[in-house]
Structure 1
Amino acid sequence: MRGQILFTPGPVMMHERVLKAMAEQVVSHRSEEFRQLLDDVRALLAKVYGGGEPLVLTGSGTLAVESMAWSLVEPGERVLVVSHGEFGERLADALARRGAIVDVVGAEQPGRHVPVESVAAKLDEEEYAAVAVVYTETSLGLSYRDMAQVARKAKSQGALVMVDAVSALAGEQVPSPGVVDAVASAAQKAIAGPPGVSFVAVSEEAIEKMKKVARKPPSYLDLEKVYRFHSERRETPYTPAVNLLYGLREALQLITERGLDAWIEMHRERAELLYSKLPGYGLQPVVEPGYRANTVAAFYTPLPSGVLASELAKRGIKIARGMGGLKDRVVRIATMGWLPEDAYERLFTALSEILA
C-alpha cells in the first residue's frame, strides 16, 4: 500500500503531518483539551466554508448529507432535488426516507448540466419547502456551477437550500452558508484529511428551521442537538473520533498555510492537466465544458474500465471505475490529496504502456 498512488475520489493521500497528528494520545471528549481541539477545528472549517456554523460529526459524508436532510425537512414537506447522477439520486432517496414529497429535475443525459431555467420552471409550478443539490456529482465529475443562481431563485420563493458538497468543498468555490442554508461535506476529499469525519455548515435560517422541526430525526442525525452541544458546551453529544479530529485540524491548517484560493487553484490546474492530456490516450471527457469538476475527472475509456483500472493497479496506481450504468465504460481520476511530485508523470507513462 505504501507504494500506491491514490487517484481515487476519496479517501485520498494525506500529508505526513496529518498522519503524525493522528498518532497523538487520545484525550477525554469532556475535557478542556478536547474543547480547544473542537474550537480549532470549527474555526478552521468556518474559514474553508466562508461562514456559517460548522457542525462536526463522526461518520462519512453520507452521515452529513442524511443529517442535513433529516434535520431540515419535515415529513410531508415538498422538496425539489436537482440531480446529475448517482449521488443526486441518493440525496433524493434520503429525503424520501425522511418522508418528504420529492420532485427530481434531472439532466437529459450523463455529463450534461440541468439548465437553471428548468429548475426555475419547477419552482414556479410548485411551492417547495427546500431545494437540494449535489454541487459536485462524484459519479461523473460534474460541478453544478449554476448553484448560486438556483439558490437565489429558491430563496426568493421561501425555500431553504441544501447542498451536498462532499466532493466539492476546498476544491471548488462552493456558495457559502448565507447564499445557501446548509452545506454538507467530509474530511477525506479535497480537504485531504482522514475518512470518518464529516460536517455540515448551517445558516441562521437553517438553525431556526432545525429548532422548529416537530418530528425530530434519530438522535445521531439530529443537527440541532449537535448545534446545542457545540454552542453551549463546546462539545459533541456523543463520543467523537478524537484522533481523526487531530488529523482534520492538521489538514485544515495545511490548507490555511497555503491559502484557500491557492488550494482550490491547485485542484483546477490538476484537472485541466487531465482534461488536456488524456484525450491523447483515447480517453474522452464525460462532462461538457464549463461544468467539469476540479476534484474528479471522468472519461469514457477505449478499454473496459475494469481492465484499465486493473492494469493501472499492477503499476501502483489506483483509479476508480464509473458508477451505475456507466460502470464499465467510464473511469474516474481524482485530483485531490497530497500526491507525489511524479504522480501525473507515472500516470501518463502507465497509460501509454497500457493503451499503446
Structure 2
Amino acid sequence: MKEIPVTVKRSLELLGIFILGYLFVIGNTIIMPLLMAFFFSLMLMPVFRFFRKIKVPEGIAIFLPILLLTVMVALVIWLFSSQVAALLDDFPLIERTVTKHLDNLSIWISNSFGFSPAQQLKFINVQSAKVFNSIGSVLQGAAGSLTGVLIFIGLLPIYIYLIILYRNLFLKFILMWFKPGEHKNVEHGIRQTEKMVKSYLIGLLIQITYIIVLLGGSLLLFGIKNALLIGIIFAFLNLIPYLGALIGNILGVLLTLASSESLSDIIIVLAAITFVQFLDNNILMPRIVGSQVKVNPLAAIVGIIAAGSMAGLSGMFLALPVLSILKIIFDSSEGYKQWGVLLGDERPSKSPIHVNQG
C-alpha cells in the first residue's frame, strides 16, 4: 500500500484540530463539566486511596473526598461574599471617593486636551446610551447563563463520584484501543498524566492559600481597605496563567481607588502585588509544582485565549493542564512527537538548520 505523503498527514492533523475545536464549542456545556470532574477526580484520588487503605467501603471512600472538596469551596465562597458585603457597607464612602476621582480626571482632561466638562458629559451620555441599548440582550442571556452555572455545579460532584467509581472501566476502555505490546507505554502515559494533574491542582490550592495570606495580610498591615478582598480576587485570577495576574493588578488598583483618595495607597497595593508575584513565580510555585507543566509560554497563552473564547473562564483555567496532557500524549506517540516538541519548553541551543557557508 502506498504511504500517505507527510504533507497530507499534517493537513489531516490540522483539520482534525479544527473539527475538535468546533465540536468543543458546540458541546462545551457537556464537555466542560466532564473535563473539570476528570481533573478533580485525579486530584482526589490520593484521598480516596487513603480511605480504601483503612478499609472504608468504596462508596463512602468516594463520597468523603467530594464532601471535603465541597466544604472547602463553600468556605471560600463564604469568605468572598463576606468581603463583598463589607465593601457594600462602605458604599456611601466609595461613592464620594469615586466622584472626587472623576472630578479630578475631568479637570485633567479639560486642562490637557481642551475638552470642557459639558463636552465630556455629552460624550459620556452618548456612550452610556450605546451601553444601555445593549443591556437588554445581556440581561436576556443572564438567566440562561445562571441556569448553566447551576447545572454545572450540580453535575460536578455526580460526575466526580461516577468517574472514580468506574475508574477501572475507563482504564480498560483505553487499553483496549492499543495492542498488548503498547500497553506499557500507555500505562506510563496514564501515570504521568495523573502525577502532573495532581501536582498542578494541589499546587494551585496551596498557591491560592499563600497568596491570600501574603497579599491580604501585607495590605492589612499597611491599613489598606478591602485588603482581604483584593487578596482573594488576585489569588483566583492568578489561576489563569499570564493573563490573570494582569487583570488582578487592574482590579486591585480600581478597588483601592474606590475606597481611598491617597496615591500612596495605590503605590502600596502595586508594590505588594509585585512582591507577592515575585515570590510566587520565582521561589514558591516552582518548588511546589516543580517542572510538571512543561508547556512553553507562547503555546500556553494561545491555548488560554482559545480556550477562553470557546468555554469562558473554566476553559481558561483548564487550558494549561489540557495542553500538558496533550504534550504527554504526543511525546508518547511516534507519529505525533513533532506536536509535543511544538508545545514543549525545551529550546534547541543551536539552529537545527545547517547553512553551508559558501
TM-score, normalised with respect to structure 1: 0.25
Q: Which has the higher strand share?
A: 1
Structure with greater helix percent: 2
